[in-house]
Amino acid sequence: MSKPAFSFEFFPAKTEVGHEKLLSTFDELNELSPAYFSVTYGAGGSTRDRTLDIVKALIGRSDTPITPHISCIGDNKSQIAELLELYQSLGINRLVALRGDLPSGQVGMGELPFAVDLVRFIREHSGEHFNIEVAAYPEMHPQARSFMFDIDNLVNKYNAGANAAITQFFYNADSYLYLRDALEQRGIDTTKNPLVAGIMPITNSSNLIRFADSCGADIPRYLRRQLSDFGDDKKAIREFGFDVVYRLCERLIAEGVPAMHFYSMNKVEPNKRLVEALGLVA
């Protein structure tokens, strides 16, 4: 059985101390030889400058591909075209294309209201230069009108030119497998256009629950109850969380997952521990 590829996500730090810590984290995780690192992009481009700063800094530290997130909501076509040209000039050939969140107080969705529109625009503007990854939701996007509508929307993003999709984090492997099978039934060859599993390590119960509630990800009842029982025992939470995520990844690997994208939260551990324990490091 071949080993799945793996990658890590960073978010732009708000302070100089955070920036330096992120660079140190990058150096340690980069020693594991991931496929790439992605860098998030705030609502309506609110972290645009910080995202660019991180992208440029990471490009200068390693040959490992850096993959910026790019969102369309709140930006016009000329702004997005400028950003695409900048990334191309920096030698970047991979993007994560997202709708993004509407900035607080802004009215209207802009010229490219949905991720599928952004994917089409990138293809129209840049041809096949970029490998485009989009978002997928094994447990349905919280704003989708139905589960089938959400799957159809993902199919449309693939058909518009997306090369792959990265899922929202999940803890029920069957939700990922159901989505993968549904894509195949709708004509998406997931061996050529992979469905990458988004993996969220568990280190802090309150943060995890807040993230899950905000993005519509499900935390199984047994997991919520166990985390609640641990209270403020951080060590117990970390060890239990590691075991849960390790078992999830083992199941996904056994089912042939092509790649896993770890939401690192700008931390070395437990991401490094998981990758090593799963035998993903060459």
Name the band, by pLDDT with cuts 50, 70 and 90, for residue 251: very high
pLDDT (0 to 100) of residue 109: 61
Secondary structure of 117-180 in HEC code, one letter for each residue: HHHHHHHHHHCCCCEEEEEECCCCCCCCCCHHHHHHHHHHHHHHCCCEEEECCCCCHHHHHHHH
pLDDT in tens, 166-193: 999 999 999 999 999 999 999 999 999 9
Residue with tokens 């089409």: 120
| 9 catalytic residue (yes or no) | yes
pLDDT in tens, 70-124: 998 777 899 899 999 999 999 999 999 998 766 555 555 678 889 999 999 999 9
Q: What is the reported pTM? A: 0.95
Partnered with residue 136 across adjacent β-strands are 167
Range with the lowest mean pLDDT among 20-24, 126-130, 206-210, 262-266?
A: 206-210
The whole-angstrom separation of Cα 180 and Cα 162 is 15
Alpha carbon of residue 203 to chain centroid = 18
Tell me the domains of the chain and their CATH numbers: 5-277 (3.20.20.220)
Catalytic residue among 9, 85, 239, 276: 9
